[in-house]
Amino acid sequence: MNVFIAEDEPPARERLVETLGRVAPGAIVVGSADSVRGAAAWLAAHTAPDLLLLDIQLNDGLSLELFRDGRLELPVIFTTAYDRFAIDAFRAMAVDYLLKPVSDDSLAQAIAKWRRLEARVGASVARWLAREAPRPRERLVGRKGAQHHVVPLARVAYVVSVDKLAYAVTLDGERYLLDQTLGELEGELDPAQFFRVSRQLLVGAHAVRHFAPAGKGRLKVLLQPAADGEVIVSQERANAFKQWIAR
């Protein structure tokens, strides 16, 4: 059983590894991370593990972000000090949801549950669910009037959702209506180039002029061309945004 662990507190990670060693001696920890971006990068670069052990609150956001819009489909046991994320966790591929400190009995029961699921499908749940990551798109097709235009992503400043319709806005201010939703596009665009700053806005790195603190841990971002209204990155997304724009 190959296991990947995401935990941002080294003592907690060491305790989890020790607990895992006691309840599942055959388990191999093949990788670990302390952030959402670190976990995403590792999972993108390596063969899918059989099981994930993820703390929900990492140092740059929530590990639940890894499962947004079906981008990751691997069995996971979540560990957390809070119970308020339980519903969101089970919308992902959650085998179980364990409150810290994680006891031997609770982890053993969760792994036994995962093994029963594995046996029912007759193969590794991870290999059964894993999908080959699609290549990021290089262009969009948008409508302006009756005409369809091919828009290279190098020209796209950001994608904005208005009344559930998605529009690509180019660096020179042109706007094109897209057939896909913002959520669908987010999973197809290169995450190194585009970042979801809010529910309504997916921003290209080349459109960010500058950003500044906006109080309560949030960030205010100025785009070129300017967006309609203020662009605010939430406290939960602020660290991830700063790491993304500095890449």
Pick the last residue of a domain from 129, 164, 194: 129
- Residues contacting residue 232 through CB under 8 Å, at least 6 positions apart: 197, 198, 214, 218, 219, 220, 221
How many other C-beta atoms lie within 10 A of the C-beta of residue 226?
A: 13
pLDDT of residue 127 exceeding 70, the answer is no
Looking at the fold, whether 184 and 111 belong to one and the same domain comes out as no
Looking at the fold, whether 112 and 143 belong to one and the same domain comes out as no
pLDDT of residue 149 exceeding 90, the answer is yes
Looking at the fold, whether 7 and 125 belong to one and the same domain comes out as yes
Asked whether the bond before 191 is cis by omega within 30 degrees of 0, the reply is no
Looking at the fold, whether 145 and 169 belong to one and the same domain comes out as yes
Looking at the fold, whether 114 and 35 belong to one and the same domain comes out as yes
Looking at the fold, whether 114 and 183 belong to one and the same domain comes out as no
pLDDT of residue 210 exceeding 60, the answer is yes
Give me the domain span that covers residue 43: 2-129
What are the residues facing 99 on neighbouring strands?
Answer: 80
**How many domains does the chain contain in total?**
2
The Cα–Cα gap between 43 and 204 comes to 23
CATH number at residue 42: 3.40.50.2300
Q: Kindly state whether residue 134 falls inside one of the protein's structural domains.
A: no
**Which of the four pLDDT bands, split at 50, 70 and 90, describes residue 88?**
low
Q: What is the mean pLDDT of the chain?
A: 86
201 phi, psi to nearest 5 deg: -140, 130
pLDDT of residue 126 exceeding 90, the answer is no
pLDDT of residue 241 exceeding 50, the answer is yes
pLDDT of residue 86 exceeding 50, the answer is yes
What percentage of the chain carries pLDDT values higher than 90? 56
Q: Please name the helix (run of DSSP H) or strand (run of DSSP E) that holds residue 175, with its range, or none.
A: strand 175-178
Pick the last residue of a domain from 61, 96, 129: 129
The pLDDT value given to residue 84: 62
